[in-house]
Structure 1
Amino acid sequence: MASMAEVRSAGRPRTAVPTRFEVTSEFRARHRALPFTARLANNGMCMAGTFSQNGAAGLPHAIERYFEVALYLMVLTGFATLAQTGQLDPLTVLLVIGALAVRGYLLIRRQIFVLSEQRTKHLTLAFAIWYLADFLYISRTFIGPTVHLVLALMVVRLFSARRDRDFVFLSILSFLLVLAASVLTVDSTFLVAFSAFMLAAVATFILLEMRRSAAAATVRAREFVENTSDQRLGWHLAGASPVLAFFILAGAAAIFFVMPRVSAGYFSAYAPSGEFSAGFSDRVQLGRIGEIQQSGSVVMHVQIEGDQRGAHDLKWRGVSLSLFDGRNWSSPQRQVVVPRLGDGRFVLPSFRYGQRARESILGRSRPLHYRVLLEPLGTNLFFLAPRAEALQGDYQMVTTDEGGAVYDLDRGRAPGLYEADSDVARPTPQELRSAGENLPPEYWLIYLQLPEVDRRIPELARQITAHAGNNYDKATAVERYLTTNYGYTLEMGRFVPKDPLAYFLFERKQGHCEYFASSMAVMLRTLKIPARVVNGFRTGEFNDVTAQYVVRARNAHSWVEAYFPGYGWVDFDPTPASALETRRGWSRVMLYLDAMSSFWREWVINYDVNHQMVLGEEAGRTSRGYLAKLRDRAHKRYAALLRAARNTRNRLIRAPGAWSLGGILAILVLLFGINARRMARSWQARRTAAHPERSPQQAASIWYARMTRAVARRGWRKSTAQTPAEFVTTIADVELRQRVGKFTRHYENARFGESAEDARKLPELYEEMNTRR
């Protein structure tokens, strides 16, 4: 008795399954002609039966192979999008990369490894328990444990997918990785990674739908040419996927810019505050800036109104530090709320300038309006040019202290994009030399405070300023002494001395900007000159593509501000000039990449209702200008046509005969041009009909058409659905039917057999049919 398998296979041809894979020269030629994804599939990046379900065994192999490759690439690009943020811990990255590498190896080797459903359930339950422990007791954050859970589930599902719902679930997990990456990073590289993910996702869902349709089909092709199908599917997929991905991204971009902005983002609360602190805080240790300056990370972009050539060399103040304990500088000053005007501007107080300074500076004011795009730095400080007067941005509360630092107290929105106004005019040396020495009482306590310092430091300060007669000359003397007698270095040695300043001034005589600023501030205080250390940034490279200054972490800098009664605080920079040189000579590629990154940060990451209003106003202004140009062009064209019509009328009045003859000739030429192609075809048909033996097929068609028209005039019209032989049988007139039948036989020999002899007889038979009755 036949087995059930034999019964099932009865009545259908059995396909021979090769025992091994044979590589032939024909296969190599077709393999090289395939696109990249097709070559991956033909190299074996599929697992027969790994991603299969009931009813899918009869699917075309091309669809199955490409689907497995596309699904793997979608998972891979989703994880790469998350990994490039730099927010994942190294252990997690290594474990997931290892799992993806194993899956890729199995695909290449065409080996099957599928976790059982029981093991899948146990692993999923274990990861869920670990997630709760991580969320409640270990990290106590939401985004980190959630990302770890999604990665764990993705790895488990990658090795256990069997059904279509498993593939959809794996796709959802990949998208969640991309969503997490959008929260964890603001870098423009996300756009590149997301585009790659979209391309893989489009290909995956196209193939998933093809897979479902093929599995549900009730009628299948009897023959299936595998290599030809692979090639055609590969080329079609390679052409359709990028086009669909492009239109999806373009449509999403249009929706993104048009959709009303009502908040700062649903997931902004989970975004990291920043990766590093760029050398400024309310408490700074000596040596910290030297480490941070070696980083080339972009800190901010600054665009100064009217500056198209990079003509400014400014310092961007972050915080001033007034309290020194011999090793650390800090800022214990209290903060006050800055009032906000009706137009949204915050007016910064001017108590740090002095009345005489205001009067002096107003006489030669140098107002500066600038726009700052600040990267996430983990600080709530605004970086402003000297003597900032106003600040504008989408912030709820802004405070400032007596040291001139401006803080953002809006916990839901860190400083990112803002505009400010400063007056960078500086009192002249003559004015500063005439400044008195009467200090406010609180300045004696705050800006002349000193810990116990090495006795050699005051002695050195007195020696340097022995020939100076006023505080300004003393400050410039100390500044000049430090810049000319000490060297700049980022290498601070392997041990921390007991007294860092004494070690710097009298032994090592090398250091970075914080040592220079600290030394000058301390020496000025020993001379009874109020001084403080300021941390911020120097102006970096200028990008002429965007007309923006690009400030990097290596531009972090410390300098000194000294107080002059009546004129306020004046900055001094004791760091050697060689250490302050800015790297120039950017390549054009780097300039354009920076421009793209700047656009991404401002018009995507920081896109809000204000940007939308600006974009709407600009779009309205541009459209109105375009419509005005079209209207002016239409008016000019109408006026030109009107002038031409009037000139033509005047010429007709002056010479009606000549214009009438010209008009007739123009009409004839126009008619000839319109009918030239038809006349040429008619002439060619007449020529072919006159010599049918030269072109039997064309001549047979022409004479047969004439014959059917002639017979139609006698009452027997040929239908388009009838063959020539069927038409003959419909003619009731016996004599005419015989003639038409004879004509048809010669027509078919000439038309389909290319018989010149039969074609030559067609004109005679046609005339015979028309003359005899």
Structure 2
Amino acid sequence: MPFDQAFKLSSVLLAIIAFSGLVFAQSVPLWIALPTAIILIVKLCDAGGISFVRRAMALVIVSPAIWNVLLIGAFVIFLIDLTVVSQDLLPAGIHFLVMLLSIKLLTLQQRCDYRHLYAISLMAILASAALTTDAWYLPIFLLYLLGAVWTLLLYHLTQETGESSAVITPTSTAARHATPPSRITHRFFWLTNGVAVITVGLTLAIFFVIPRIGAGVLQKTHGEALRTTGFSDRVDLGTIGSVKQDPQIVMRVELPDQPTVAKDRLYLRGLAYDQYDGRSWSHSGTRRRSLSLVAEGVFLARPVGSRLPDSLSVPIRQDILLETLDTPVLFAAPFAEVVSGDFLAVQVDAMSGLHLPLSPSSRSRYSVTSQVPQLVAGDRAAMALVYPDSIRSRYLQVPVESQQVADLAHRVAQQAATPFGQTLAIQQHLLENYRYSLEADTATLSHPLDEFLFVRKTGYCEHYATAMVMMLRTVGIPARLVTGFLATEWNEFGGYFTVRQRDAHAWVEVYFPQSGWITMDPTPSVSAAVGTSRWESIRRFGESFRLQWDRLFVRYSGKDQLAVVHGVREGSDALRERVSGWVSALSAPIGHVLNRLARLSRIVQPGVLELITGMVVVGLALLLLMLRDRIGLWASMHLSIAPSQHAIAQLYARMLRTLEKKGMAKLPAVTAAEFSRQVERKWAVAWPMVADVTA
């Protein structure tokens, strides 16, 4: 393909890539995207050499007056969009940018027009970066870099070719043969792609090395938050069922320090509720306290004196990437000890629920270290338990119309002799005698719990958890309802739990004096229909890639840079120690050989060592003299030969082979000028060309 055609084609492809980034970011409305796409397709066919499109485009002549009218019209549309339609500078500016792109594609005539097109394409790819943090932007950006390298190289090559053709006129066959090629060759193709790969490497290096100073000025910070249920101050019984079939991802949870943690399920605690009025759950106290800031971005969730001993709890650390939700609640395994993240403040309520002051407007990444309480043997075997007054007054409340529920609770609990045994009996009764179903909508009933226990005997997690809490409280065991997420989908590629809306869950926390609040779940295990096909594996791999994209690019910060610097420093220290060990290991035998040579030099007679050294030097000198001609020939063929000289030498060699076939062989002792005169005498017709090459 000629350079001129490749240059026009790469310019249009660069504009297509930049426009695709804006389209994938869903920032271009249909009334702008459709005509722009048509213009891009027509220009692509024109640059590709389709004859009828070229003839049609040759008839389209945009005069300066029409160009000015189009610009004024685009600016008027921008003002209307800014003040009436979008009412926001970023989307209105992007729409105006796409209109400029379309107008410029219609007026590509001078080289300055191509420079304008490159500037508009660059602004478009930067705008798409400001509009999204999704991983699909990576291939778009890499394609843009590849297209930019090709376009800029072809831009300069076509400019140099035009200048050289206008100034230099070849006067000889050798000069014409030495003229640089004007078409894309295999060597040029791979060289350009190599330059593109180097450019990508330098771009990544600059990205990771340049200091992080914060978010971009044009970064899109607003967007529609994911709607959740079950995490407000008041939760009606039956509301969680509305999201139990929603597959949208809520968060991803890594367990970096727990390789032995079971990967089948993980409870992520949100809020706890202590008051039930027969239809809905609520908090008895809504006051929150701000957590103590012990370091930059590190908050202490539990005072040191209130922490459980290590023998009574299991530590677990979670790295959580939380999507944008419509709630300020932070989720973590029970119970959080330390919270770290880019937060100005973190609050905790009276039942250990974590909150931000306001709902976040973007994704949140934070780490939590939790202590999961374990039931001690004393609470397990005790025939009676004594609860503090603060626990009894708050977590034994039951609605007044729960007599039927109380009778059922006493009938089930009388089979056990200990409070823990009664707890297990009630849990087992719910697991064995009721059926899990999302079709049991009880949000509009006046007595939803009685409907679940005695009429329908079918429901979902809220019904099971509410029934267990009420039955436990009836027999004098403090308990409360907890809402959050039950993570069961483990991504083996990324090593994390994928938590979706359908994983919203409600369970029970039961209080034991020595152990604290213990998690218990009366809901039967219902595994979601997760496929095991190859497509499911590809989907999980894609989700893992998106998580790494968010960590390494979207959320890459100054703290990450410092961590990399410390890692490089530690690695360099280890490498230095290893290299010094290798040097010591190698220097030992070398030193041994040198010591033996030194002892040998003292043993031999004086002058023998000098004689041996002189013989070696003389031998090397003789070897160089013998190879002098060969070295000179190799240097003349491979060193200091310009491309034009190399082309002339090849042409001269081809001429000698042709003359040899005609019976005129050149002897080694004959010079080029003498051989030219011989050709003049024997083949007068060919002599002018031979003289031209020889000269």
Match of 2:20 in 1: 80
Residue type at the aligned position of 1:485: N
Residue 458 of structure 1 contacts residue 526 of structure 1 at CA under 8 Å; is this kept in 2? Answer: yes
1:251 to 196, 202, 214: 202
Q: Secondary structure at the match of 2:294?
A: coil
Q: What root-mean-square deviation, in Å, do the aligned CA atoms of Structure 1 and Structure 2 show?
A: 4.9
Alignment correspondent of 1:297: 249
Q: Which residue identity does 1:383 align to in structure 2?
A: F
**Take 1:500 and 1:231, find their aligned partners in 2: how far apart are those partners?**
82
Aligned in 2, Cα 1:604/1:410: closer, same or farther, shift over 3 Å? farther
- 2:338 counterpart (378, 390, 401): 390
Q: Which secondary structure state, in structure 1, belongs to the residue aligned with residue 667 of structure 2?
A: helix
Corresponding residue number in structure 2 for 1:688:
none
**2:289 aligns to what?**
336
Q: Which amino acid aligns with 2:83?
A: A
Aligned equivalent of 1:579: 527
Structure 1 CA distance for aligned equivalents of residues 537 and 682 of structure 2: 71
Q: TM-score, normalised by structure 2?
A: 0.74
Residues 620, 146 of structure 1: CA spacing in aligned structure 2 closer, same or farther, 3 A cutoff? same
| Match in the other structure for 1:421 | 369
- Give the aligned residue type for 2:597: T
1:366 aligns with 2:314: yes
Counterpart amino acid of 1:82? L
Report deviation, 1:493. Answer: 7.5
* Deviation of the 1:419 alpha carbon: 2.9
Moved more, 659-668 or 402-411: 659-668
What is the deviation of 1:608?
1.8
One of 631, 647, 654 as aligned partner of 2:580 = 631
Aligned-residue offset at 1:401: 0.6
* Residue 144 (structure 2) aligns with: 197
What amino acid sits opposite 2:552 in the alignment?
A: W
Does 1:648 pair with 2:597? yes
Aligned-residue offset at 1:302: 1.3
Aligned to 1:520: 468
The 8 Å contact of residues 395 and 473 in structure 2, kept in 1 or not, is answered as no
Equivalent residue, structure 1, for 2:689: none
Q: String of CA shifts for 1:328-360, please: whole Å, max 9, x gaps.
A: 545562211111125753221369xx97xx66x
Change (3 A) 1:639 1:441: closer
Report the CA distance shift for 1:152/1:444 in structure 2 as closer, same or farther (over 3 A): farther
Residue in 1 that maps onto 2:656: none
Q: Deviations over 1:528-569 (max 9, x none)?
A: 544333233334455566554444554443322233455432
Q: Displacement of 1:704 after TM fit?
A: 4.3
Distance in 1 of aligned mates of 2:186 and 2:617: 52
Aligned pair in 2 of structure 1 residues 375, 646: CA closer, same or farther (>3 Å)?
Answer: farther
1:416-447 superposed Cα distances (whole Å, 9 cap, x missing partner): 33333222231236505636364545864577
Q: Map residues 439-450 of structure 1 onto 2, 5 A cutoff.
A: 440=389, 444=393, 448=397, 450=399
Quote the residue 1:346 is aligned against: 299
Distance 1:744 1:583 in 2: 82
The answer for the alignment partner of 1:739 in structure 2 is none
Deviations 1:147-205 (A, max 9, x none): 44444444454455555555444444433343333333333232122112222233334
Are the structure 2 counterparts of residues 663 and 302 from structure 1 closer, same or farther at C-alpha, using a change threshold of 3 Å? same
**Using CA pairs below 8 Å that are at least 6 residues apart, which structure has the higher relative contact order?**
2
**In structure 1, distance between residues paired with 2:408 and 2:422:** 12
**Distance of aligned partners of 1:312 and 1:577 in 2 relative to their CA distance in 1, 3 Å threshold:** closer
Instruction: Give the whole-Å Cα distance in 1 for the aligned partners of 2:97 and 2:678.
Output: 79
Matched-pair contact (CA < 8 Å) for 1:372–1:417: yes
Change (3 A) 1:218 1:338: same
Amino acid at match of 1:420: V
Residue in 2 that maps onto 1:604: 553
Moved more, 94-103 or 248-257: 94-103
Moved more, 280-289 or 489-498: 489-498
Question: Is the contact made by 1:261 and 1:609 (CA closer than 8 Å) also made in structure 2?
Answer: yes
Q: Which amino acid aligns with 1:366?
A: V
Counterpart position of 1:314: 266
The AA in structure 1 aligned to 2:506 is S
* Secondary structure of the structure 1 residue equivalent to 2:217: coil
| CA distance in structure 2 between the aligned counterparts of 1:88 and 1:419, rounded to whole angstroms | 33
The size of the alignment, in residue pairs, is 633
Match of 2:33 in 1: 96
| Residues 158/681 of structure 1: CA separation in 2 closer, same or farther (3 Å cut) | closer
CA distance in 2, matches of 1:440, 1:158: 78
TM-score (norm 1): 0.68
Deviation of 1:100 after TM superposition, in Å, equals: 0.6
Corresponding residue for 1:130?
80
Amino acid at match of 2:73: L
Supply the AA of the counterpart residue of 1:646: N
* 2:622 equivalent to 1:622: no
Offset, 1:633: 2.7
Letter of the aligned partner of 2:134 in structure 1? D
Q: 1:509 to 1:141 in 2, by over 3 A?
A: farther
Determine if contact 1:397/1:410 at 8 Å carries over to the other structure.
no
Provide the identity percentage. Answer: 22
1:444-478 CA-partner distances (Å, limit 9, x unpaired): 4577364977x755554444434345543343333
Distance 2:599 2:223 in 1: 80
Alignment of 1:17-416 (within 5 A): 62-63=2-3, 65-85=5-25, 88=27, 92=29, 96-97=33-34, 99-101=36-38, 103-105=40-42, 107-108=44-45, 110=53, 111-112=56-57, 116-117=66-67, 120-121=70-71, 123-134=73-84, 141-159=88-106, 164=111, 166-210=113-157, 219=166, 232-233=183-184, 238-268=189-219, 270-272=220-222, 275-277=225-227, 281-282=231-232, 286-288=238-240, 291=243, 294-295=246-247, 297=249, 299-307=251-259, 313-324=265-276, 329=281, 331=283, 333-342=286-295, 345-349=298-302, 361-409=309-357, 416=364
Are residues 298 and 382 of structure 1, via their aligned partners in 2, closer, same or farther at CA, if it must alter by over 3 Å? closer
Q: 1:265 to 1:530 in 2, by over 3 A?
A: farther
**Shift of residue 516, structure 1, vs aligned partner:** 3.1
Q: Which moved more, 1:390-399 or 1:595-604?
A: 595-604
Q: SS of the residue aligned with 2:333? A: coil
- Decide whether the 8 Å contact of 2:243 with 2:504 is kept in 1: no
The alpha carbon displacement at 1:487 in A equals: 3.5
Preserved contact between residue 396 and residue 410 of structure 1 (Cα < 8 Å): no
